[in-house]
Every structure is written in C-alpha cells, then in structure tokens.
Amino acid sequence: MDIAIVAAKRTPMGAFQGALAEVTAPELGACAIEAALQQSGLRPEQVDEVFMGNVLAAGVGQAPARQALLKAGLPDSVPATTVNKVCGSGMKAVMLAADTIRLGDNRVVVAGGVESMSRAPYLLDNARNGFRMGHQKVLDHLFLDGLQDAYDGQLMGIHAQRSADQAGLTRSAMDEFALASLQRARDAQQAGAFASELASVYRGDRLLLAEDEQPSKGRPEKIPTLKPAFGKEGTITAANS
C-alpha cells in the first residue's frame, strides 16, 4: 500500500519567551492542523484519527492532541492520541499514523507535534505533602522533563559536548557553521522559501507571528564572543548548538 503525505503545515518557530509566549501548545497545534486541512482540500469530518507529539505536558491540560483537534474544528467523534517520546515525539506520531493506514484501520490521519517551551511551568516538588520547615526547591519543568537526563541528571547539552569532543569539533568550526546556517536561514526567509509551509499565528484578529522569529534577531558579530554553555573549555554555545 502506498501512503502519501498530502499536506504539511507548521507554525513559525518563536523565540523563547518571544512572540508566541502567550499561545498554548494545543493552540499552536490547532493552527497547524487547520492550515494543513485547508492545504489538502480535505474536510474535517474526513479525518479518521489524530496523533500529536508533546513532551512538556505539565500545565497544558488533559489530552493536548484532542484539545488541538477540537480547536481546529474537527468533530468530537475523531479520536486523538498524545505521544511522548521526548525529541522523537512528533516523528513517532507520524510513524504511528502511517502504521494505522497500512493496517487498514484509517484512511486519513493528521500527525505532528506541539510544544511551547516558553509556557513550561515551574514545579513545587513535595508540596502536596506539605512543607514543614526550611528551604524547598522549585523545579523547572522544561529542564526536568525536557532537557535533563532522567538517569544521571545531566543536561542533554553535556552529552552533546562529549560527542563534539569525541568528533574533534573545534569552536571555530562550529561557529563558522552557525554563521553560515544563520545566513542561509535569512536568505531563505527573504526569498520566501518557507512561505508554503507556514501557518501564521493569530490571537483573535491580532497577528502574533508570520515567519520564524529568530533569524532576524541573530547578531552574527556576537557568535564568536559567546561563552561556552557546558564547561569552561567547551565548544558549544547558545548560538552554535
């Protein structure tokens, strides 16, 4: 059986605590779903199922995939599944969608991923049991459930730095790649290369973001001057990562 992707839409990538900071992950998902359906020419009632990846689920509300489909105007009868496979969540959602079509369970499936790092809350561990005395910790949901290894407690960036060291990647080489990547992104943005895949995000009638936010904010002259993010002798920075 041949399985085809008949439409693909995404919201612009916002900067951390930037233009999309007030928008929830399900709202972003709804924007992409609605735009993809319009691009495909399919009607909402033709969708058999929805799979959406989501990692930072705290504070998002129950069943973010279902929230997204309902906000996009799909019928209540359409089932939805939220997938948490960390960085591979959205990709796994697409794989599951293809599998259900291949098995004959579905004909039309919406799949993708939704996330808002800006809206990840802080957590009060053990607050439910009561704080009896002394200082207590506030945990960052973004770090705890998104960026921090669940086994050794180290940030994913530490492991990325180890990989860079093993590969012999130098700071200058990484910065050069980052500068070239930034310039390509700016050139592509100015040429309208991403226009066909973008779904502008609105809050009511107010346009929040129509294109990726970060390329225009990047300052090339600052890239070589940034401090290493993981260790004094590290090569990874906020720009070249």
Same domain membership, residue 110 and residue 175? no
Task: Kindly state whether residues 97 and 177 are assigned to the same domain.
Answer: no
Give the length of the chain: 241
The pLDDT confidence band at residue 26, using thresholds 50, 70 and 90, is: very high
Domain of residue 199: give its range. Answer: 148-225
* Burial class (CB within 10 angstroms; exposed 0-12, middle 13-18, buried 19+) of 204: exposed
Q: Is residue 21 part of a domain?
A: yes
- First and final C-alpha spacing in the chain: 40
**Do 43 and 91 share a structural domain?**
yes
CA distance 56 to 218: 26
10: domain CATH number is 3.40.47.10
What's the token pair of residue 166?
Answer: 């093993």
Q: Is residue 156 part of a domain?
A: yes
Provide the pLDDT for residue 116. Answer: 98
Residue 122: both structure tokens together = 């802080």
Residues 37-89: tens digit of each pLDDT = 999 999 999 999 999 999 999 999 999 999 999 999 999 999 999 999 999 99
In a domain, 175, yes or no: yes
145-193, pLDDT tens digit by residue? Answer: 999 999 999 999 999 999 999 999 999 999 999 999 999 999 999 999 9
Global pTM? Answer: 0.93
pLDDT confidence of residue 3? 96
CB atoms within 10 A of CB 206: 7
CA 13 to chain centre: 8
> Which of 120, 137, 168 is a domain's end point?
120
Quote the CA–CA distance of 123 and 121 in Å, as a whole number.
6
Q: Could you give the number of structural domains in the chain?
A: 2
**How many percent of the chain have pLDDT more than 90?**
96
Q: Same domain, yes or no, for 45 and 98?
A: yes
In a domain, 80, yes or no: yes
Same domain, 7 and 97: yes
Domain boundary at 100, 120, 140, which?
A: 120
Name the nearest CA neighbour of 175 among 108, 222, 217.
222
Rounded-to-integer distance, Cα 32 and Cα 12, Å: 10
Asked if 157 and 88 sit in the same domain, the reply is: no
**pLDDT at residue 199, rounded to an integer:** 98
**pLDDT on residue 132:** 86
Closest-CA residue to 230 (of 155, 139, 171, 146): 155
**In angstroms, rounded to a whole number, what is the distance separating the alpha carbons of residues 157 and 230?**
7
- Same domain (yes/no): 165, 109: no
Question: What residues pair up with 198 in beta bridges, in sequence order?
Answer: 10
Q: How confident is the model at residue 1 (pLDDT cuts 50, 70, 90)?
A: confident
- Residues 8 and 197: their CA atoms lie apart, in Å, by 6
β-pair partners for 10: 198
| 123: β partners | 139
pLDDT at res. 79: 98
Average pLDDT, the chain: 97
Q: Considering only residues 130 and 34, tell me which one the structure prediction assigns the higher pLDDT.
A: 34
Does residue 167 share a domain with residue 86? no
Residue 90 counted as domain residue: yes
- The DSSP bridge pattern shows strands 139-140 and 122-123 to be antiparallel
Between residues 175 and 130, the one the model is more confident about: 175
Indicate if 97 and 180 belong to the same structural domain.
Answer: no
